[in-house]
Structure 1
Amino acid sequence: MTPRLEDARILMYSHDTFGLGHLRRCREIAHALVEAYRGLSVMIISGTTIAGAFDYRVRVDFVKIPSVIKLRNGEYQSMAQHTSLEDTLTIRRAIIRQTAETFRPDIFITDKEPMGLHGEIEETLIYLKSQGTRLVLGLRDVMDAPELLAPEWERKDVLRKLEAYYDRIWVYGPEGFHDPLAGLDVSPLVRGRMRYTGFLRRSIQWADTPASRPAEGYVLVTTGGGGDGADLFRAVFAAHRMDPGLDRTVAVLGPYLPARERAELLADAATLPHVEVIEFDNRFEDLVAGASGVVGMGGYNTFCEILSFDRPALIVPRTQPRLEQAIRAERAAELGLTRMMPAEEAADTARLVAALRALPDAPRPSQSVAATEAGFLRLDGQTRIAEDVGNWLLNPGHTILRAVQS
């Protein structure tokens, strides 16, 4: 029987300044939770400009806050042309606080950024803690290199605030794959609040297949949101010019690819008979499921999709402004889950041609003995998250919810 929670509410915060990873991760978790518990509602606060382009299950909704973009140098700027970053952040803080006061969540889940963009959720965290809301921080399996993350968090006083505010820290990966807080001076109290959930499994959620969906058997090239993906697309297109016999390729540019580079790549692809370009697809899982191989930069969501659909993959990670993708790609290659090619090697067209030719016949993640024996391919993140939520909200001592079986 599916447990029922009477008027249970979860609020999620996704700061969304670069790409789609944060919102897509929050959406996956939200969908899993409303499927696990009838009567539960989830609201996602998101700054992405295209939050409304995705489908959401019943009892999952979102609040859009003004968008801020993270530049390649790590700085931020408002997406509103005539609004300063300071004014934009003031508006965002007010909406976040008002949403929390009105929605009255039982659980508040923060994705990746403990205090939010420029500390924008700290005031809300203090308020919700005073109301008895359970506060949860969700971290990727890999955050960044310790030498980069440690000074950033020290400057923001994050470790002390983690201990003061958060009741639980979910790590969205399996224990032993990677420690996202390696090299940081983490207190035993904070360590004790950490739970490795495992990776988040992805699946095809809709039975109908759009008529425009490419026929199966292509190599899929993706850079997530696309904001920093132009070089990888250029390299793959150059490989097709050198070797017109390469397998059919579907390239998904992403919504954040800059307009000038988008126009350039569309014009280039039009001259390549075996290259099909899709600018954006809100059901990306379908595309991964139909691919014979995946070429990507190794962001968290793409990596989970590669594992979930068991596709051979070539990862060409970025190294700016964070080393997250490179660290994940190196660890995955070490385990035999995917292959890795540094960006400077991918720029060597002959080497990339050889890698693309070999990709469809490369080992799949499920063939990694080391990863299988370690349990890294169980992909049970949503199940463990739902267990925590159930333990918190179905217990008799909870003062807001009335749990019944139906």
Structure 2
Amino acid sequence: MSLKGARGYRVLIYSHDTFGLGHLRRCRTIAHALVDNRDDVSVLILSGSPIIGSFEFRSRVDFVRIPGVIKLSNGEYTSLNLDIDVEQMLAMRESIIQHTADAFDPDLFIVDKEPLGLRGEVEPTLRMLKERNTRLVLGLRDVMDDPETLREEWLRKNCAPALANYYDDIWVYGLREICNPLDGIDLLPGVEEKMTYTGYLPRTATRKPAPEHGALGLDEPYFLVTTGGGGDGVNLVDWVISAYEADPEIPMPSLVVLGPFMAPADQQKFMERAESIDKLSVITFDANVEMLMARSAGVIAMGGYNTFCEILSFDKPSIIVPRTVPRLEQYVRASQAEKLGLVRMLTEEGGRPPLEMAQALRGLAGQPAPSSVTVPGLMGGLETVSSMVEHWLPRDGGLLDAEYATA
């Protein structure tokens, strides 16, 4: 038996996580699917998320927390917690990533979204693993940004050559009907042939019970208002609370999850406003938000990738209020999904009239669920990913055993 077969297969996943929860939650979903599908696979996640320890991980899934950074309004990065120069911080992250990959020696390396990592921090690791014949995969969400903005960003970062020079596969966690995430990028020959549209990544509610709704001042049914990480969710929460203030007779109560990255002053302000509204309950964060969504009668959200997957997975009627700054990602996803009949979109183009949101909330419970529309392959993401992994990490060890037999 080969060394690989004797030890089981190893998958390393990189998630840069400078802000929000999207990258971490997507990588965690994939990791759990891989170990659920295979008892000979272990997965290690590299993440800069400051709250990765708040999440539960299944057996044979673990994480390495690299020092966190945060992007400033001017586009530069700074250390999240440590009082050290950002160049020192980035050098430290690069070293930890490479040394972890060297020691873990993965059979498969999946990089989330950023082809070269934050400020190129993954490139030395890609070069090292390429020399070891490790399978290298770039995983992209369905929408990156509008084509012009993405083109400028990737030219500045020199990302496009990496798709040809390093990666064996490019997995797009979505459907071409929603978006081609690399539209507008000048791709080198052969890159498009590496792309596989997997479909969206389905989610399941955890078995761990969420807080009792009665303890939150809620009786079912209720709407769930979620901002994801919450760092850019102030406008959405303000609009929903304003709707209940302007129209106290909205029939359905709502549970508002502010998000762990919302500024404490904003969190406090919203909690104080909600105290005088019987039909609103507000919490800061719940790592098992899937359970809250599964029990809800509908969802009001900004429309990030993970929230969109959950809305489809739990078949919830939804109102999506996408952000448009600094990226158009959420707007592109929501507008295309609305055209397919999967969601309803509201925008802030006319400001945030409270009665407009109140009217939308009144109609949400009667809005068609996503299942009213048939979109082939919509939620096939984890099945497709597992199938791709099955080919490159065969159960009989065939492909990789042959390599190690001659090593």
**Correspondences of 1:46-65 after superposition (within 5 Å):** 46-65=47-66
Q: Paired residue for 1:236, among 212, 233, 240? A: 240
**Correspondences of 1:331-346 after superposition (within 5 Å):** 331-345=336-350
- Cross-structure match for 2:269: 264
CA contact (8 A) 2:209 2:291 kept: no
1:328 aligns with 2:333: yes
Compared with structure 1, are the counterparts of its residues 22 and 291 closer, same or farther at alpha carbon in structure 2 (3 Å cutoff)? same
- Cα deviation for residue 264 of structure 1 reads 1.1
User: Unaligned regions of 5+ residues in structure 2, if any?
Assistant: none
**Correspondences of 1:7-406 after superposition (within 5 Å):** 7-206=8-207, 208-211=209-212, 215-246=219-250, 247-345=252-350, 347-368=352-373, 372=374, 374-377=375-378, 379-394=379-394, 396-399=398-401
Deviations 1:75-115 (A, max 9, x none): 32211251222121111111101100110000000000111
- Cα deviation for residue 216 of structure 1 reads 3.2
**Between 201-210 and 393-402, the greater mean CA deviation after superposition:** 393-402
- Cα deviation for residue 352 of structure 1 reads 1.1
Deviations 1:198-246 (A, max 9, x none): 1000111316454457643111111100000011111111111111122
CA contact (8 A) 2:210 2:288 kept: no
**Between 83-92 and 227-236, the greater mean CA deviation after superposition:** 83-92
| AA aligned opposite 2:387 | E
Deviations 1:157-187 (A, max 9, x none): 2111110000000000123221101122123
Compared with structure 1, are the counterparts of its residues 64 and 400 closer, same or farther at alpha carbon in structure 2 (3 Å cutoff)? farther
Structure 2 counterpart SS, 1:322: coil
- Cα deviation for residue 5 of structure 1 reads 8.3
- Cα deviation for residue 188 of structure 1 reads 3.6
CA contact (8 A) 1:346 1:352 kept: no
- C-alpha separation between the residues in 2 aligned to 1:215 and 1:13? 40
- C-alpha separation between the residues in 2 aligned to 1:24 and 1:5? 30
- C-alpha separation between the residues in 1 aligned to 2:402 and 2:43? 16
| AA aligned opposite 1:398 | L
User: Unaligned regions of 5+ residues in structure 1, if any?
Assistant: none
| AA aligned opposite 1:196 | Y
Compared with structure 1, are the counterparts of its residues 251 and 209 closer, same or farther at alpha carbon in structure 2 (3 Å cutoff)? closer
- Cα deviation for residue 400 of structure 1 reads 8.1
**Between 300-309 and 169-178, the greater mean CA deviation after superposition:** 169-178
| AA aligned opposite 2:339 | E
- Cα deviation for residue 131 of structure 1 reads 1.2
TM-score (norm 2): 0.93
TM-score (norm 1): 0.93
- C-alpha separation between the residues in 1 aligned to 2:393 and 2:343? 39
Structure 2 counterpart SS, 1:276: strand
**Between 208-217 and 70-79, the greater mean CA deviation after superposition:** 208-217
- C-alpha separation between the residues in 1 aligned to 2:37 and 2:355? 49
| AA aligned opposite 2:385 | I
| AA aligned opposite 2:400 | H
- C-alpha separation between the residues in 1 aligned to 2:94 and 2:80? 16
CA contact (8 A) 1:36 1:386 kept: yes
- Cα deviation for residue 401 of structure 1 reads 9.5
Deviations 1:297-354 (A, max 9, x none): 1100000000001101111110111110000011011111101111234611111111
Compared with structure 1, are the counterparts of its residues 207 and 283 closer, same or farther at alpha carbon in structure 2 (3 Å cutoff)? closer
- C-alpha separation between the residues in 1 aligned to 2:190 and 2:12? 25
Number of aligned residue pairs: 394
- Cα deviation for residue 6 of structure 1 reads 4.6
- Cα deviation for residue 63 of structure 1 reads 0.3
Compared with structure 1, are the counterparts of its residues 129 and 325 closer, same or farther at alpha carbon in structure 2 (3 Å cutoff)? same
- C-alpha separation between the residues in 2 aligned to 1:342 and 1:288? 22
- C-alpha separation between the residues in 2 aligned to 1:300 and 1:25? 8
Compared with structure 1, are the counterparts of its residues 53 and 261 closer, same or farther at alpha carbon in structure 2 (3 Å cutoff)? same
- C-alpha separation between the residues in 1 aligned to 2:51 and 2:241? 27
CA contact (8 A) 1:345 1:351 kept: no
Compared with structure 1, are the counterparts of its residues 59 and 215 closer, same or farther at alpha carbon in structure 2 (3 Å cutoff)? farther
| AA aligned opposite 2:109 | F
